[in-house]
Amino acid sequence: MKSAPQLLTDPFLQLPTATSVRVVWFTEFSGNKHIVNYGEKLSQTIRASTTKLSRTREDQQSRVANRTYKQPFKRDIWRHEAEVTGLTSGVRIPYRVMSVREDGENISSDVFTLAPSPKTGTSLKILLTSDHQLKPMTAANLQKVVETVGQVDGVWFAGDLINVSDRASEWFDDHRGGALFPGLQGRAKYEMEHNGVKTIYTGGQIIQHAPMFTAIGNHEVMGRLARKTSLNDEFDDTIPRAVAQKLYSGKSLIDNSFNTDTYEEIFTLPKSQEGGKKYYAVSFGDVRLVVLYITNMWRTPNLDPKYTGRYREAEKDLNNPENWGYGQIIYEPITKGSKQYNWLEAELNSPEFKQAKYKVVMFHHPPHTLGDNIVPAYTDPVQIIERDEDRKIKAVRYEYPKDKDYIIRDVVPLLEAANVQLVFYGHSHLWNRFINPNGVHFLETSNVGNTYGAAWGNRKRDVPLGYKEDYVTLGDPNGLEPVIPTIDPLLSEDGQPIPYIASNDITVFSIFDTGTGLVSSYRFDTRKPDSEVVKFDEFELK
Ligand SMILES: [Fe+2]
């Protein structure tokens, strides 16, 4: 007997307008019919349209129940989306979804609530999060969000939702219990153990009721399609479009450089004419949120000749340019005069932006942080090829001129001039914040997934010796002092307040309350499952 049909995810909300919102969910069958029931007594019905994800696969590193793979293998997943229309701002109504399989068997979700985009003047709680990546503290973090502040009205996710974008189970059903959707839907099952005490965290039921707006992080980007034998290697196999054009002329540029197809197939986001879903702006209550595509390839700082690193090519590949990594390549230009920069400039001059009470910009790469990932500078790698007398390649190195950091040189001055109050980002897996001389707040609240540490005190960044440019080992390379948390900072061993949280035990989340203008950050010590969540920092957007 065939088992009963199941939904691969609960439904979740996307792209609210003044009178509508999209409901999206996934199944592993194409089905005969997929519907949303909504309204009082769920008496209204709308049919969903169905698409199939084109690049989702599993491979030898996948952790799915009852199955192992020897190499990347296509996984069939269908996505259903319906737009519920005729809604009234401020009025929340119940809904559920139902999918009917080809054999007529059906499955319904639980009942959740939906609402269209909130009007200006509405007090909203928005969760600021990033870098979940199936990390051990993510489920605990999201569970504590719901236990502490209840249902939020929106989620802003500053990139790195998963580790390897085309590996389906990372989004849906990794059997260790920490996949993306289960965490954000209260269906995670992630076990943590301290001193022999086991606690299972479920995440929080969040995005069934609240729309999520996301930015692309480096982990949403996949490399060249199927040139490697595992999805991890394929993830690492990105090259610049211009190089792909030379190496693979006449073939698909997307398949032969890098792509964000799976991410774009999963989410329905606001779009800009220039950047589509990759960069966009949206009004949500009193906020104008501008989302940028600012992320680059992450490569190891290790100078060992065996690695394709951020500062050098691997020795074995010196004569194989098709195997080079080309350093930490930037996926979408943001430099002055680029298409994205011009779009940003126009957006910052738009009436929607100018009239908004709160002006917030979100992207993945940090402009200011104590984290490691801010070095080297956010700029196109400068390739240096060293040759011997016979013109044979001895080394291929990359430098990153700090005075050409596009975020600091080009983007931040624009944001300052436009009176942006908050710049929100992730990538380094820690919590810290900054205020620049013009009063712009910078917040990195990515101690959701586990930390990569802070360059502070005795802990220095791994920077290349003997290189020409300035690679900063400690503090914020872009010159700001971190702000000490205002309410209850952690203390160092000698009792001094620490201006960051970089911990594999203490997880952090932040909530922006548009009613008060306060951005509040909370910490939870996963070593003490019964302990209280502590509000440790708060600042106001004015
Ligand atoms: Fe990242």
Dmax of the chain from CA atoms? 82
374 CA → ligand 1 middle, Å? 10
77 CA → ligand 1 middle, Å? 26
pLDDT for the residue 156: 98
Residues 454, 476: Cα–Cα separation, whole Å: 10
H or E segment and range at residue 157? strand 154-157
pLDDT for the residue 1: 55
pLDDT for the residue 486: 98
452 CA → ligand 1 middle, Å? 11
449 CA → ligand 1 middle, Å? 11
258 CA → ligand 1 middle, Å? 16
pLDDT for the residue 154: 98
pLDDT for the residue 446: 87
161 CA → ligand 1 middle, Å? 9
428 CA → ligand 1 middle, Å? 7
pLDDT for the residue 149: 98
**Closest among 447, 434, 55 to 258, alpha carbons compared:** 55
296 CA → ligand 1 middle, Å? 8
Q: Is 69 strand, coil or helix?
A: coil
pTM of the model: 0.98
Amino acid type, 379: T
CB neighbour class for 91 (10 Å; exposed up to 12, middle 13-18, buried from 19): exposed
430 CA → ligand 1 middle, Å? 12
104 CA → ligand 1 middle, Å? 43
pLDDT for the residue 2: 77
Residue 177 near residue 198, CB atoms below 8 Å:
no
Query: What is the block-wise mean pLDDT of the chain (542 residues), using blocks of 10 residues?
Result: 90 98 98 97 98 98 94 97 97 98 97 98 98 97 98 98 98 97 98 95 98 98 97 98 95 97 98 98 98 98 96 97 97 98 98 98 98 97 97 97 98 98 97 97 91 94 94 97 98 95 97 98 97 98 94
137 CA → ligand 1 middle, Å? 17
Q: How far apart are the first and last CA of the chain?
A: 62
pLDDT for the residue 450: 87
Helices of type H across 272-428 = 339-348, 351-355, 406, 412-417
302 CA → ligand 1 middle, Å? 18
364 CA → ligand 1 middle, Å? 7
Residue 295 near residue 365, CB atoms below 8 Å:
yes
Structure tokens at 401: 């001129």
466 CA → ligand 1 middle, Å? 27
Structure tokens at 227: 């040139």
431 CA → ligand 1 middle, Å? 14
Q: Is 418 strand, coil or helix?
A: coil
Q: What is the DSSP string of 475-516?
A: S-TTSPPPPPPSS---B-TTSPBPS-B--SSEEEEEEEETTT
331 CA → ligand 1 middle, Å? 13
Q: Could you tell me the CA-to-CA distances from 479 to 408, 437, 459 in Å, in that order?
A: 11, 11, 18
106 CA → ligand 1 middle, Å? 39
Tracing tokens 């919102």 back to the chain, one arrives at 21
Going by C-beta distance under 8 Å and a sequence separation of 6 or more, which residues neighbour residue 475? 370, 455, 456, 481, 482
Residues 363, 492: Cα–Cα separation, whole Å: 31
Q: Could you tell me the CA-to-CA distances from 23 to 15, 34, 36, 205 in Å, in that order?
A: 9, 11, 8, 15
Structure tokens at 185: 């839907």
Classify the C-alpha dihedral 122-289-17-55 as positive or negative.
negative
232 CA → ligand 1 middle, Å? 15
515 CA → ligand 1 middle, Å? 31
Classify the C-alpha dihedral 178-180-181-184 as positive or negative.
positive
Residues 50, 80: Cα–Cα separation, whole Å: 5
162 CA → ligand 1 middle, Å? 10
445 CA → ligand 1 middle, Å? 12
Residue 539 near residue 441, CB atoms below 8 Å:
yes
444 CA → ligand 1 middle, Å? 12
500 CA → ligand 1 middle, Å? 18
373 CA → ligand 1 middle, Å? 8
415 CA → ligand 1 middle, Å? 22
241 CA → ligand 1 middle, Å? 20
116 CA → ligand 1 middle, Å? 31
Residue 415 near residue 361, CB atoms below 8 Å:
yes
Tracing tokens 């729309």 back to the chain, one arrives at 211
Structure tokens at 107: 């499955």
482 CA → ligand 1 middle, Å? 20
**Closest among 223, 256, 226 to 238, alpha carbons compared:** 223
372 CA → ligand 1 middle, Å? 11
Residue 145 near residue 115, CB atoms below 8 Å:
no
Q: Could you tell me the CA-to-CA distances from 466 to 303, 375, 463, 471 in Å, in that order?
A: 11, 16, 10, 11
**Closest among 490, 488, 463 to 474, alpha carbons compared:** 463
pLDDT for the residue 447: 86
**Closest among 15, 14, 37, 10 to 25, alpha carbons compared:** 10
Angle, vertex CA 399, rays to CA 393 and CA 404, nearest 5: 145
212 CA → ligand 1 middle, Å? 18
94 CA → ligand 1 middle, Å? 36
Q: Is 377 strand, coil or helix?
A: coil
Strands 441-445 and 422-425: parallel
* Per-residue model confidence as pLDDT tens digits over 347-398: 999 999 999 999 999 999 999 999 999 999 999 999 999 999 999 999 999 9
Structure tokens at 247: 């190496």
Residue 464 near residue 454, CB atoms below 8 Å:
no
Residue 296 near residue 400, CB atoms below 8 Å:
no
101 CA → ligand 1 middle, Å? 38
205 CA → ligand 1 middle, Å? 25
Residues 364, 354: Cα–Cα separation, whole Å: 23
* Per-residue model confidence as pLDDT tens digits over 89-122: 999 999 999 999 999 999 999 999 999 999 999 9
How much of the chain is helix, strand and coil, in % rounded to 5?
15, 30, 55
* Per-residue model confidence as pLDDT tens digits over 118-151: 999 999 999 999 999 999 999 999 999 999 999 9
454 CA → ligand 1 middle, Å? 15
Strands 534-540 and 518-525: antiparallel
260 CA → ligand 1 middle, Å? 14
95 CA → ligand 1 middle, Å? 34
Chain mean position to CA 492: 30
